[in-house]
Structure 1
């Protein structure tokens, strides 16, 4: 069996002993697969080289951080492909319907990044509200302009935070925000029970109300046909002037040009997150040099601890596949009909 793993490049793996989700390390799967008589090919290429490797591959491992955009045309060339594993959470870069129609199962390591992304949400909310990035930049620039740094620095306490989506990540984000004495609203397709709302310290609001009344909005929802470009120019205009938007969900949830214009005009007090579209983000992406941003590369769900959880989950999925056993239910995103 041939396994192809498309992971991000690392030119100096000797400097990064704890980074296992790179092409250089290949999630440390090589010895395990080789001992069982299987081949592991690792690459960071997502173009023609990858297509050549996929031609006779049975398993593809990809990630949300260095994604393989896998559509039906590409799958049609991968004649032996039967399993796709997302090493992480979020498989919207894969056409799941086309995959299952071709007899390909799609899996991901559910829950592996939940704590990591929830913590990153709080980090980026604080970075925006406290105007951290411009204040930090002053240090590198040799400046000491306290007035300039504090002009747009605020307390988080007393603000209203709206969380879009209250799944595992959204719920943990809410729990971590409770200590800041904020009002937490949430919108989700499925409302939580009164007991769960009380534990999380949240109140349900319809989407329009949440957008209109929140000082901070945190997107924690999957990318679907309903959430694509959800934050377009029209919706951004209904947010409170000067409010902040954090998006660690998926870059395509926000309209890139509209976000830039809102940051330039001050309609948005700032934008943060680590998800972009496409990924890796090109050097001329409109968010790279826009004002009022605290963006990072897509790494929130790839802490050292998260990578260990991801590697364990990938090994579990592979072990079931190799043994001809059912794949773990909680890891299955889509599966062919029996």
Structure 2
């Protein structure tokens, strides 16, 4: 346990980096009790910590993902049926470092390949909500048990959501152009050349550059919002809206999260600031899940490929799952923190 604590402080929580910025801004004459000091230390520490961890974790998850090309994924998913297929589809989503909007083209590709609609939706739900890189990042803010609980509940929402959509037989509510197979998807898997270790390294490095380029602004915005919450917004005000005493806190957090657009990396700093202000664990997790999975831009994109009945079914299932997770963790949060 002592070794794990030392590893966590050094590499995950990076307490040395926080101590450095506290020393730096005190040396520059800022008062430790001032809101500006609290906000600026939070901002610089979180920005650097997130980008260091993000680069390492994206590289590792992308290297793993290089073994799961779309063709291989389609072939693998096609071998399973029912609950096992939904479970595998949800697990496949965890190794794709995509935001909700980026997952939709993959969803279209899987549908064109003839995979069951429920399996493709299990992937669509889990891909933005649960990410291999998010596990360690969540552990830096909360702890390993919270990170594991988030991943497990996210996968359950994806699996159950996909199964329900299968049971409701909603294939007919997918737009016709999505169902039409393309020559790309019919390529003989035997013609795909295997990647060498050098190819995988190159792919992972490119993914780091591409994803950092895509998310850096959202990370800065998220950390900026977190810094304002951390430094300037009184704890009593936040607790009155999102605290444990407000029975509607989970509903409010979910509804507030839907119009926002960010991936999990942009929402983590906001979650960190909310937790420091006394917001319940379940409320914070519900906010994160809503932002990553039900963002308004992704719903607009999804509307172009599915009909309203399927869209609202998806929205209802995922929203209900997120709200239930929020209230569950608010009730049992003391077991994890």
TM-score tier after normalising by the smaller chain length: under 0.3
Q: What TM-score, normalized to structure 1?
A: 0.27
Q: As a proportion of its length, which structure holds more helix? A: 2
Structure of higher RCO (CA pairs closer than 8 Å, 6+ residues apart): 2
Q: Could you say which structure has the higher strand fraction?
A: 1
